[in-house]
Amino acid sequence: MFEIIENRMLVPNVHEMTVHAPDVAKSALPGQFVIFRSEEEGERIPLSLADWDVESGIITVVYLNVGRSTAKLATLKAGQALPTVVGPLGNPMEIDYYGAVLCVGGCYGIASIYPIARALKEAGNKVVCVLEARSSFLLYWQEKLSAVADRLIYLTRDGSRGKRGHVGNLAEILHALPMRIDRVILNGCNYLMMRGSQETLPLKIKTMVTLNTLMIDGTGMCGVCRVTVNSETKFACVDGPHFDGHQVDWAELTQRRKAYLQEEILALRTTRPL
């Protein structure tokens, strides 16, 4: 069992959980993920590692309360335990010196982009972070990110903070920057990553995305995370989750993500207490 150190809502519907999982913390690298179960017989939930500390053995994830199993996760309190925390899974994000890198995070991606931005900065890159949200009250982790980014750009749909717009305005943002960007990294929902990749394609900037697919075991066994990249089928769990955003078959990914939408709704409709 894995003890929960803290579980709190950061902004509406977005939760941060810290868990004691020393073996995971010891091996974690930026861009890897973990699988949680919130209860016995529970669903396996893949979540990006947002932070970790080798010394204390504590790992951090940020998740959206969106379905039956994440709703259960959100009810858990410090001192309770999770039956499963397994990882670190997947490949780390490729980190090297590229020059200037633009890191875009939206929703839970604001948290998962953090260790990637941190590692890029440590590798000597100039790091510009774009935080995207519907409105200013949905932004979080600004202090953490400003500590590792050379510049933070806010992008809100209602203009309540920073630039008014969304990821569809990424090309404008890139044009307005004083430096040339050598690489873009997008973290967030699949829509954000797809739209962002569409923006950078004509600009010919290498763009990496961290895909959110369905998963069960997360070790290559079930294959539900199949995704087509550059016309080849890949398993997001063992071949990814990071891919070149210009090569991902986004239409297929979007369809596959929706496979259990009806069942998700059915599971939420129960009157049974969580």
Partner 1 sequence: MEQPVKKGLDLNRRPMPKQPVEVRRRNFEEVALGYDAKLAMEEASRCIQCKKPGCVEKCPVEVDIPGFIQAIAEGDFERGVRILKAKNSLPSVCGRVCPQETQCEGGCALHRKAGQIAIGRLERFLGDWEAAQPDFMLPEVAPPTGKRVAVVGGGPAGLTVAGDLVKLGHEVTIFEALHKVGGVLVYGIPEFRLPKRIVEREVEYLRRLGVKMVTNYVVGKTRTVDSLLEEYDAVFVGSGAGLPWFSEMPGNNLNGVYSANEYLTRINLMRGYTFPLAPTPVKRHVRVAVIGGGNVAMDCARTALRMGAETTILYRRSREEMPARLEEIENAEEEGVIFRYLTLPVRCIGDERGWVKGLECIRMELGEPDASGRRSPLPVPGSEFFLPFDAVIHAIGNSPNPLIPQTTPGIEIGRKGNIVADPQTGKTTKPRVWAGGDVVTGAATVILAMGAGRRAARSIHEYLTNPGEW
Q: Could you tell me if 132 and 106 are in contact, meaning their C-beta atoms sit under 8 angstroms apart?
A: yes
According to DSSP, the residues that pair with 66 across neighbouring strands are none
Q: Which of 6, 23, 96, 244 touches partner 1 by CB under 8 A? A: 23
SS3 label, residue 59: strand
Q: Which of 9, 27, 53, 157 touches partner 1 by CB under 8 A? A: 27
Closest to 59 (Cα-Cα) out of 114, 105, 129: 114
Structure tokens at 114: 């953090």
The strand order across the sheet containing 81-82 reads 51-53, 58-64, 14-20, 2-11, 81-82
Q: Which of 89, 102, 184, 185 touches partner 1 by CB under 8 A? A: 89
Dihedral angle computed from the Cα positions of residues 33, 121, 131 and 145, in that order, rounded to the nearest 10 degrees: 90
Kindly state the DSSP code that residue 182 receives in the 8-state scheme: -
- Hey, which residues between 38 and 67 contact partner 1 (CB under 8 A)? 41-44
Helix (H) or strand (E) holding 37: strand 33-37
Residue 223 Cβ, how far from partner 1 at the closest point, in Å? 4
Q: Which of 171, 238, 246, 247 touches partner 1 by CB under 8 A? A: 238
**End-to-end distance of the chain based on CA atoms, in angstroms?**
19
Over the window 189 to 228, marking each residue x when it contacts partner 1 by CB under 8 A and - when it does not, the resulting string is ---------------------------xx-xxxxxx-xxx
Residue 215 Cβ, how far from partner 1 at the closest point, in Å? 10
Report the residue number, 22 or 162, with the smaller CB distance to partner 1: 22
Report the residue number, 182 or 217, with the smaller CB distance to partner 1: 217
Site for partner 1, rule CB under 8 A: 23-24, 26-27, 37, 41-44, 68-69, 72, 83-89, 216-217, 219-224, 226-228, 233, 238, 251-252, 255-256, 258-260, 263-264, 266-267, 270
